[in-house]
Amino acid sequence: MAPEPILSLSGIARSFGDLAVLRGVDLDVLTGEILGLIGPNGAGKTSLFNIISGFLEPDSGTVSFRGRNIRPLSPAERVHRGLVRSFQSSTIFPDLTVEENVALAVRSRKSLAYRWWRPRAALSEADQVALRLLADAGLEDDRRRLARDLSHGTNRLLDVVMALALEPALLLLDEPTAGLSKAEAERLTALLRRRRGSMTMIMIAHDLDIVFSFCDRIAVLDLGHMIAIDTPAAIRANPRVQAAYLGQSA
Amino acid sequence: MAYYLIQALNAVSLSVLLMLLALGLSLMLSLMNFINLAHGSFYLLGSYVAIFWLAAGLPWYLALPAAFLAAALAGLILDRYPLGLFYQRTHLMQVLLTYGLSVMFADLMRWGFGAEIMSLPMPDALRGVVFILGLPFPLYRLYVIGVGIVLAFGLWYLVERTLWGAAMRACVSDRRMVETLGIDTRRIFTVAMVVAGGLGGLAGALGGGLLSAYPGLDEEVLLLALLVVVVGGLGNMTGTVLSAILTGFITTFARIFLPEFANVISLGAVAAILLIRPDGLFAHKARRV
Amino acid sequence: MIRQLPLLILLALPLLLGDGYHLRFAAEVLIMATAVISLDLLIGYGGLVSLGHAAIFGTAAYAAALTAIRFGANLPLVLAAGVIAATVIAGLMALLARRSSGLFFLILTLVGGQIVWEVAFHWRDLTGAADGLRGIPPLTLDLGITSLPLASSPALYLVAAIICLAGLSLARSFVDAPIGRALVGTREQPLRMEALGYDIGRIRLRTMLAAGVIAGLAGSIYPFVNQYVGPNAVHWTLSAAMIIMAVLGGVGTLYGGLIGAVVYMTIQTYLSSYTDRWQLIIGAIFVGTVILMPHGIMPVIGSLARRLGWRNPEADHGA
């Protein structure tokens, strides 16, 4: 018996004015898998992420998360259901320290976000959690540094740590390794593998080496259509995919 | 029936005035991404200039150009300093700067022109009434409607059909790109400020015949212009025009049917519209992420 | 407590030096300062510029005055009435402007505030319309067994000072609490905050309510300064003046509200007796501040204090 897909997209379409970015996308993401989402620039990958995470309304189609329709939910509500995303351009808080950044995420998870008094015990517990997460990612020495002083690689690592702090059931990673050196990218994917647990991941990436080594399945988007979803080996051999990438090394 | 037609025409004349007012503000917002809360001051200046011009017995048909030039000149000076410094700053800083300037201008005008209400000496050519379906309608209001429509059309032409307009519109999207084409973007911004300021003064000169001129009018008028622009949606001059028409009609007919609550109704309508459409009625849907 | 010593000394000064007239003026300054401090929560920490803050403040004043006229001017009663009224208005405004920011927030709060003004200006039976409310009984403190009259200038000043301190500490504790951090986050990166699961509307609502409570405290005793309250107390021009005070003093510093109120109201009151052009001067000072010292006066004082070796409370994130 096949496991219930944790995420189900059906007939997702979206246009910006005359530009049709997504033209009827269907996708079932299986619980616990790591799915790579690739495609040439302009294929609609980030728009798809925006729709899944609630930052963009589709023109039509359904979005089902854990069997429930989540289209009416705001991004914040989706986060509390376990649907978390990272961003392509880093949006951590530059004026806060590394640990303050993570603390923001942890407090959100622990429902401490809106307290207008300081509950000492709960806050210090949350701070402990943040510290553990940082240690796990190898960032505990950087914890008092201001986020704006971080290198690009550390920046992206922090981004992922914050997403993980929200204890996602489904994690959307938008180009997490963009601009990273081989070593830094390795560090990041190692972290993700360690904390995988029962978490499902969808990763947009342009570095095909990472995608092919890290992902269980790969979905290929081109010009708003999903042209293939299969194992890395099968995708590599797929002629339509090769045609779409024309000239890019697979 | 005829009564409602007259009232509708009244609404149109108010709409046209609001439209001219709001367009100056909207122009700066959409072409320069600049909020100017001193716009009301341009209006009031234009009113005073027109009033003094006519009181001095000078040719009435030159009153509008005179007001335009005076306000445009003010815009030119302000563009040099200090507005030009703030074109790239946040909206908040622009709000603060231009509000402070408007306070200064208001006091300067109070000092120069006095605190009493000044009404426009109506030139003979514009005096009197026209009879529409048997009811009298002030000729001046027809003049306002006519001039307003011509001006709006002229502005549209300037922005949409000329090279200046194209350059201005390009500046909003990508200023650096425009500069690589060898166009001096600073000068484009100056032109936009001059035109917008002049437009405010023109609106004031026209409006002087309807609203007179007095200290405090600049604030009232600014409020109206802001409401129109915001309801119409930012960065969208068509939206401003449509919003001006809507506002003019709501205000006029609210005054007729429920005079004590007219203001509350207008304000309530604005609040309701913004509740339902937080970005304004005709806003472009911008990409959030 | 040591940290607060300079402030306490400053606040005690007028009591030792001033006469009746000046004490009353100082009380008014402190009342206004408290309202501006609450506005700073919105502007400095939330990035939300509100032109409707006077409506919140003034509604408290009207509520307090009406309660005093009807039920006597017992301080706790009057404060309760004012705070409740202010919080209700603040909550309504928060709901109205729930999804708006920037210019739209400015306009919506302006619209909301002006609706309040229209009510105050036209509803003669309730608010006295344009004439306002007079015949407000003097402030007292009913302790059951005895009743302390608070109508004298020193007493009024003391009440205002205590309220100002209360407002400051309420604001400070809000900023230091998790929600304060969340608020700053929504100002800096609203998208990221949403992606972290924060409901921006909820944060805004709580901030507005907190600001409403503090402004309500201040507004409650406002009518007792001159035994009068009128529609000007809710007009948007007062909101604009409060914004000027906040910017002059230094947005995002809380104490800046105090400084700004002192500077603005001193100029307004004392300059206006020398020249008619006081608005021009205030406008010029304000413009000068925006151009040359956009962070206001407070940071200047702050760095001076650091220079003199005083340990500075960590500079919080301002606009």
pLDDT of amino acid C2: 53
Query: Any CB–CB contact under 8 A between A104 and chain B?
Result: no
- Local structure of C236: helix, strand or coil: helix
Q: How far is the alpha carbon of C189 from chain B, nearest alpha carbon, in Å?
A: 12
Domain-located, residue C247: no
Mean pLDDT to the nearest integer, C145-162: 84
Mean pLDDT to the nearest integer, B236-247: 88
Question: Of A161-170, B6-15, C138-147, C156-165, which range is least confident?
Answer: C138-147
Report the mean per-residue pLDDT for chain B. Answer: 88
Assign residue C67 a region (left: φ > 0; alpha: ψ between -120 and 50; beta: otherwise). Answer: alpha
3-state helix, strand and coil shares in percent for chain B, rounded to the nearest 5? 75, 5, 20
Digit-coded pLDDT (tens) for A30-44: 998 999 999 887 778
Residue pair C43/C187 in contact by the 8 Å Cβ criterion: no
- Local structure of C42: helix, strand or coil: helix
Q: How far is the alpha carbon of B227 from chain A, nearest alpha carbon, in Å?
A: 27
Q: Residue A139 sits in a domain of what CATH number?
A: 3.40.50.300
Beta bridge mates, A173: A203
- The span from the CA of B199 to the CA of B240, in Å, is 14
Domain-located, residue A250: no
CB–CB contacts below 8 A, A to C: 82
Chain A hits for C176, CB-CB cut-off 8 Å, are 118
Residue pair A136/A187 in contact by the 8 Å Cβ criterion: no
Which pLDDT band, with edges at 50, 70 and 90, does A166 fall under? very high
Query: Any CB–CB contact under 8 A between A65 and chain B?
Result: no
CA-nearest of B281, B247, B283 to B29 is B283
One-character DSSP codes across A117-136: S--HHHHHHHHHHHHHHHHH
- The span from the CA of A92 to the CA of A102, in Å, is 9
Query: Any CB–CB contact under 8 A between A75 and chain B?
Result: no
Chain B hits for A19, CB-CB cut-off 8 Å, are none
Digit-coded pLDDT (tens) for C233-274: 999 999 999 999 999 999 988 899 999 999 999 989 888 888
Q: What angle do CA C184, C189, C193 make, to 5 degrees?
A: 80
Residue contact B289–A16, C-beta within 8 A? no
pLDDT of amino acid A76: 93
Question: Of A56-60, C21-25, C134-138, C310-314, which range is least confident?
Answer: C310-314
- The span from the CA of C314 to the CA of C316, in Å, is 6
Q: Which spans in A21-91 are helix H?
A: 45-53, 75-81
CA-nearest of C296, C222, C213 to C254 is C296
> Which helix H or strand E contains A173, and what residues bound it?
strand A170-174
- Give the phi and the psi of residue C133 in degrees, each rounded to 5: -110, 130
CA-nearest of C279, C215, C285, C214 to C247 is C285
Report the mean per-residue pLDDT for chain C. Answer: 88
Residue pair A176/A203 in contact by the 8 Å Cβ criterion: yes
Domain-located, residue C169: yes
CA-nearest of C293, C100, C286, C38 to B96 is C286
Closest partner CB to A79 (pick from C178, C197, C200): C197
Residue contact C189–A55, C-beta within 8 A? no
The total domain count for chain C is 1
Query: Any CB–CB contact under 8 A between A74 and chain B?
Result: no
Paired tokens of A68:
């429930």
Cis upstream peptide for B82 (omega within 30°): yes
Closest residue in A to C171 (Cα) is A116
Which is more confident, B51 or C300?
B51
Which pLDDT band, with edges at 50, 70 and 90, does A1 fall under? very low
Domain-located, residue A225: yes
Residue contact B96–C106, C-beta within 8 A? no
Sheet containing strand A217-222, strands side by side: A83-85, A170-174, A200-204, A34-38, A217-222, A225-230
Chain A hits for B287, CB-CB cut-off 8 Å, are 16
Mean pLDDT to the nearest integer, B82-86: 88
Mean pLDDT to the nearest integer, A73-91: 87
Residue contact B289–A50, C-beta within 8 A? yes
CB–CB contacts below 8 A, B to C: 95
Residue contact A87–B287, C-beta within 8 A? no
Radius of gyration of chain C (CA): 19
Q: Is 90 exceeded by the pLDDT of residue C54? A: yes
Q: What angle do CA C258, C261, C265 make, to 5 degrees?
A: 150
Counted residue by residue, chain C has a size of 319
Q: Residue type for C223, please?
A: P
Residue pair B98/B42 in contact by the 8 Å Cβ criterion: no
pLDDT of amino acid C3: 60
- The span from the CA of A161 to the CA of A102, in Å, is 7
Chain B hits for A56, CB-CB cut-off 8 Å, are 288-289
Closest residue in B to C110 (Cα) is B223
Q: What angle do CA A166, A169, A174 make, to 5 degrees?
A: 75
Name B211's Cβ contacts closer than 8 Å, sequence gap at least 6.
B47, B217, B221
Range of the domain at A67: 5-245
Which is more confident, A147 or B41?
B41
Domain-located, residue C313: no
Residue pair B171/B41 in contact by the 8 Å Cβ criterion: no
B285 burial type by CB count under 10 A (0-12 exposed, 13-18 middle, 19+ buried) = exposed
Query: Any CB–CB contact under 8 A between C59 and chain B?
Result: no
The total domain count for chain A is 1
Closest partner CB to C287 (pick from B100, B111, B289): B100
Closest partner CB to C291 (pick from B82, B99, B111): B82
Domain-located, residue C75: yes
Q: List, as ranges, residues 9-48 from A with C-beta within 8 Å of B.
A: 16, 46
Report the mean per-residue pLDDT for chain A. Answer: 87
Residue pair C318/C246 in contact by the 8 Å Cβ criterion: no
DSSP secondary structure letter of residue A224: T
Q: Is 50 exceeded by the pLDDT of residue C312? A: no
B65 burial type by CB count under 10 A (0-12 exposed, 13-18 middle, 19+ buried) = middle
Domain-located, residue C180: yes
pLDDT of amino acid B167: 79
Paired tokens of B115:
């605190």
Query: Any CB–CB contact under 8 A between C268 and chain B?
Result: no
Q: List, as ranges, residues 150-209 from A with C-beta within 8 Å of C.
A: 162, 166
Paired tokens of B82:
């200090």
Q: Which of C192, C193, C205 to mutate to test the interface with A (most CBs of A within 10 A)?
A: C192
Q: Is 90 exceeded by the pLDDT of residue B276? A: no
Which pLDDT band, with edges at 50, 70 and 90, does C40 fall under? very high
Residue pair A37/A221 in contact by the 8 Å Cβ criterion: yes
Q: Is 70 exceeded by the pLDDT of residue C316? A: no
Closest residue in B to A17 (Cα) is B285
Residue contact A87–C181, C-beta within 8 A? no
Task: Determine how many CB atoms are found less than 10 A away from the CB of residue B275.
Answer: 15
Residue pair A201/A189 in contact by the 8 Å Cβ criterion: no
Assign residue A14 a region (left: φ > 0; alpha: ψ between -120 and 50; beta: otherwise). Answer: beta
Assign residue A58 a region (left: φ > 0; alpha: ψ between -120 and 50; beta: otherwise). Answer: beta
Paired tokens of A35:
């799915």
Question: Of A43-52, C24-33, C47-56, which range is least confident?
Answer: A43-52
Digit-coded pLDDT (tens) for B143-193: 999 998 998 888 888 888 887 778 777 777 777 777 788 778 888 889 889
- The span from the CA of C208 to the CA of C212, in Å, is 6
pLDDT of amino acid A2: 58
Mean pLDDT to the nearest integer, A18-47: 88
Domain-located, residue C87: yes
Question: Of A157-171, B64-78, B120-134, which range is least confident?
Answer: B120-134
Residue pair A165/A137 in contact by the 8 Å Cβ criterion: no
Residue contact A76–C174, C-beta within 8 A? no
Q: How far is the alpha carbon of A134 from chain B, nearest alpha carbon, in Å?
A: 27
Sheet containing strand A19-30, strands side by side: A19-30, A5-16, A60-65, A68-69
> Which helix H or strand E contains C312, and what residues bound it?
none
Chain A hits for C195, CB-CB cut-off 8 Å, are 53, 55, 75, 79, 84-87, 91
pLDDT of amino acid C216: 97
Domain-located, residue C307: no
CA-nearest of C51, C41, C55, C59 to C176 is C41
- The span from the CA of B19 to the CA of B21, in Å, is 5
Chain A hits for C197, CB-CB cut-off 8 Å, are 76, 79-80, 108-109, 113, 166
- The span from the CA of C107 to the CA of C239, in Å, is 12
Chain A hits for C198, CB-CB cut-off 8 Å, are 76, 108, 113
Does this complex have an ipTM over 0.85? yes
Beta bridge mates, A85: A172
pLDDT of amino acid C217: 97
Most confident of A241-250, B54-63, B152-161, C107-116: C107-116
- Local structure of C317: helix, strand or coil: coil
Mean pLDDT to the nearest integer, C279-293: 91
Most confident of A37-46, B101-110, C66-75: B101-110
Query: Any CB–CB contact under 8 A between A50 and chain B?
Result: yes
Residue contact C104–B278, C-beta within 8 A? yes
**Residue boundaries of the structural domains of chain B:** 2-221
Beta bridge mates, A220: A38, A228
Range of the domain at C136: 2-236
